[in-house]
């Protein structure tokens, strides 16, 4: 379970999130709302990628501010805007990224890469990847990490239809995990196992 209490965030003295409190149990959730409503800001904060906020966030009993490193090792996060160490090769980056937190098996990595049509042994530099392949790489790393909380911000952007279906199937197979997705596009493959949460009504999930 993740518990958010009185979360607020400002940019240049303008509130982006104001006094947000809610709880989510294990399961798969889609936070939806129009662009600019604050979805990406919220997910960055929940992932530990933004520390300029007030309030309390706990994953189980792990407090993000007080136990930051323990918290972030439990989280797998794919942002909408991807930033890489451009000089690294794909084949170097994957083991480096997967070493940062508990991971699933090598065979799982290989089978998922095959399903996505992604070459994990590529000597192409990260900076030369197309948007679609960059997104596949980050989803591959996220899904091959063994975490308690998975956060995906607009994960379908840049993906072909087959990769979208593979990604959603993988999410459906994650059990006893908390999965939070942000999207403004409703994909037909998101079934009833995903709970829809309107961004502006999150305070109702307390």
Higher per-residue confidence, 81 vs 67: 67
Q: 17: which strand partners?
A: 9
Q: Where are the domains of the chain?
A: 2-204
Q: Are strands 54-59 and 178-183 parallel, antiparallel or unpaired?
A: unpaired
pTM, whole model, 2 decimals?
0.92
pLDDT of residue 183: 81
User: What is 2-204's CATH number?
Assistant: 3.40.50.300
**CA torsion angle 21 27 33 36 (round to 10):** 70
- pLDDT tier for residue 19 given thresholds of 50, 70 and 90: very high
β partners of residue 9: 17
Residue 183, strand partner residues: 32
Residues in contact with 197: Cβ distance below 8 Å, sequence separation at least 6, in sequence order: 29, 30, 31, 32, 205
pLDDT digits (tens, 9 = 90+) for 87-120: 789 999 999 888 888 888 889 999 999 999 999 9
Buried b (16+ CB within 10 A) or exposed e, 26-60: eebbbbbbeeebbbbbbbbbbbbeeeebebebbbe
Q: What is the pLDDT of residues 168-192, one digit of tens each?
A: 889 988 889 999 999 876 666 676 7
3-state secondary structure of 33: coil
């Amino acid at each position: 379970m993740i518990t958010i209490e009185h979360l607020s965030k400002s940019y240049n003295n303008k509130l982006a999130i104001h006094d947000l409190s809610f709880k989510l149990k294990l399961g798969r959730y889609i936070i939806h709302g129009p662009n600019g409503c604050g979805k990406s800001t919220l997910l960055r904060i929940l992932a530990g990628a933004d520390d300029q906020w007030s309030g309390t966030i706990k994953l189980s009993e792990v407090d993000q501010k007080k136990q930051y490193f323990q918290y972030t090792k439990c989280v797998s996060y794919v942002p909408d805007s991807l930033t890489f160490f451009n000089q690294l090769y794909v084949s170097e980056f994957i083991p480096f990224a997967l070493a940062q937190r508990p991971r699933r098996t090598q065979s799982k990595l290989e089978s998922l890469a095959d399903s996505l049509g992604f070459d994990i042994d590529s000597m192409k530099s990260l900076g030369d990847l197309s948007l679609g392949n960059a997104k596949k790489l980050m989803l591959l790393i996220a899904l091959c990490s063994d975490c308690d909380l998975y956060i995906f911000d607009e994960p379908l952007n840049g993906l072909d239809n087959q990769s979208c279906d593979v990604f959603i199937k993988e999410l459906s197979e994650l059990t006893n995990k908390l999965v939070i997705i942000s999207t403004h596009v409703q994909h037909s493959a998101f079934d009833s196992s995903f709970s829809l949460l309107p961004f502006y009504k999150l305070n109702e999930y307390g």
